[in-house]
């Protein structure tokens, strides 16, 4: 169940308990006034009942505070969990890239890193970024295409280079 739903349920329960406790205290106070309690046997019973009701008010206060926390501050918990999941995914992607790069030569590593930084980079821009000749870059891109790591799409007079899967 969602923390917000639990918070609302506890809030409703604590309000109902509050109403019950207020009614009980009023009834007990009326009995005290009717008996004119000053060390009579019936007064001890009423005093014990009042002590129980005061304890119940403590329980009510706890339930109210818990429901208030769950209702208003549970979003922070969800945000923390979401951030942890995102961090885990990022670390997994980095590890995956690290393993992939170990199987490539230096030229291929440079190209994959550049394409990863700027998805859809044109072949001309990529050539300037990795400082390779047209022939060498074309050879490296061909090898990476054969390995299924990149794809090239025609874009005007050149090609745009994309990673096949997110790395």
**pLDDT tens per residue across span 12-59:** 888 888 788 778 878 877 777 777 765 666 666 666 676 777 777 788
Look up tokens 């006034």; give the residue: 33
Token code pair at residue 103: 């199987």
Q: Among candidates 104, 145, 148, 141, which has minimal Cα distance to 124?
A: 141
Cα 57 to Cα 14: distance, rounded to the nearest angstrom = 10
Cα 140 to Cα 121: distance, rounded to the nearest angstrom = 15
**pLDDT tens per residue across span 105-137:** 899 989 998 988 888 898 888 899 999 998 999
Instruction: Note whether 126 and 133 are within 8 A (CB).
Output: no
pLDDT value of position 76: 65
Token code pair at residue 59: 């329980």
- Label residue 135 exposed, middle or buried (CB < 10 Å: 0-12, 13-18, 19+): exposed
pLDDT value of position 89: 87
Cα 129 to Cα 114: distance, rounded to the nearest angstrom = 7
Choice between 89 and 7, residue whose per-residue pLDDT is larger: 89
* Total residues belonging to the chain: 167
**pLDDT tens per residue across span 52-78:** 777 777 887 888 887 777 777 766 667
pLDDT value of position 139: 92
Token code pair at residue 120: 């859809």
Q: Which of 21-30, 88-97, 113-122, 144-153 has the lowest mean pLDDT?
A: 21-30
Cα 115 to Cα 100: distance, rounded to the nearest angstrom = 14
Cα 33 to Cα 13: distance, rounded to the nearest angstrom = 30
């Amino acid at each position: 169940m969602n923390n917000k739903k639990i918070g609302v349920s506890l809030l409703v329960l604590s309000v109902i308990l509050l109403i019950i406790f207020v009614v009980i205290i009023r009834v007990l106070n009326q009995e005290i006034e009717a008996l004119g309690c000053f060390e009579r046997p019936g007064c001890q019973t009423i005093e014990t009942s009042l002590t129980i009701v005061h304890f119940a008010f403590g329980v009510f206060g706890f339930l109210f505070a818990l429901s208030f926390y769950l209702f208003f501050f549970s979003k922070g918990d969800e945000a923390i969990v979401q951030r942890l999941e995102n961090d885990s995914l990022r670390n997994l992607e980095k590890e995956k890239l690290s393993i992939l790069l170990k199987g490539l030569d230096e030229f291929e590593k440079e190209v994959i890193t550049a394409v990863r930084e700027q998805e859809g980079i044109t072949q001309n821009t990529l050539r300037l970024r990795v400082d390779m000749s047209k022939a060498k870059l074309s050879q490296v891109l061909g090898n990476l295409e054969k390995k299924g790591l990149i794809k090239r799409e025609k874009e005007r007079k050149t090609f745009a280079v994309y990673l096949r899967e997110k790395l």
